Amino acid sequence: MVLGTRGSALALAQAETVAAMLREAWPGLEVRLEIIRTGGDRLRDRPLAAFGQKGVFVRELEEALQDGRIRAAVHSLKDLPSTLPDPFALAAVPMREDPRDCLISRGAKPLEDLPAGAVVGTGSPRRAAQLLAQRPDLKVRDIRGNVDTRLAKLERGEYDAIVLAVAGLRRLGLDGVITQHLEPQVMTGAVGQGALGIETLAGDDEALELLQALDHTPSRAAVEAERALARALNAGCQTPLGALAVCADGKLRLTGALASADGRQIIRVQTEGLPEEPQSAGENAARMMLEQGAGPLLGHREQNDGQHLS
């Protein structure tokens, strides 16, 4: 089983985790990693919005699947478009890590104590919009690079604070640098944040069987609800959409947050459904958002509200 992965320290840590899970589930299975450079990796100085497409960290991995260099690709699920094109399939979602974002600041100041005009780094329109919704006096600036690069930029004083995913820091053993965990009511994470997605070819029955042993049912249901919300809104990775679903007590609870770029308008919805019906929960949340005026915040959807909900 050859697993394709990006080459960053975080991507390699995630792929090694999946490899270890496969070896445990299937004793005797030979597993190795193949590093694939993606367009998003090659052009690290460009803002992600400049790529103008979904899946900037995905395409080359899918090409490697198609030409047989790898049998499966390990992704941060939030990088994977909510609709996979043929002939690909989401074979497994292992148990999800912490889905929250966190603030790391110089002087260990929490968000509420950052001085007016403080410069906060993030490459995510979602994070930028939700930061400005809480603190419109902050200056939000783009930041690119892997985790170590971003931490170094903070240390050099290029930023007063940065926002990162808790899961990535934990997987790298760097959660000690966290100043403040940002709770979902303050900063709702990206669709699929904290989860890994293992992609393979839909027709590769052997790979599907091997990988499905790693699937964690509650995590799968949660992220499928979030991805259904994104699909229903036709949202891409540059849409300032946050979503978090949690399965507990036999129910699936989904929170969605969509903000204007400047944070002045934010729509938050909550819906409840069954873990066995994540698609329905996501579509219900999308319908609620559209009823509350999400169309103008989505831009490209103003003329087509509801087209994915029929």
- Nearest CA to 190 among 304, 303, 287, 75? 75
159 — alpha (psi -120 to 50), left (phi > 0) or beta?
A: beta
Question: How far, in Å, are 39, 55, 287 from residue 263 at the CA level?
Answer: 29, 25, 21
Residue type, 144: R
86 labelled catalytic: no
Cβ-proximal residues to 102 (8 Å cutoff; 6+ apart), any chain: 163, 164, 165, 166, 169, 178, 179, 180, 181, 182
- Nearest CA to 191 among 61, 108, 83? 83
**Residue entry with tokens 């939000």:** 140
User: Residues 133, 263: contact at Cβ < 8 Å?
Assistant: yes
Size of the chain in residues: 310
Pick the catalytic residue from 79, 101, 160, 305: 79
Catalytic residues: 79
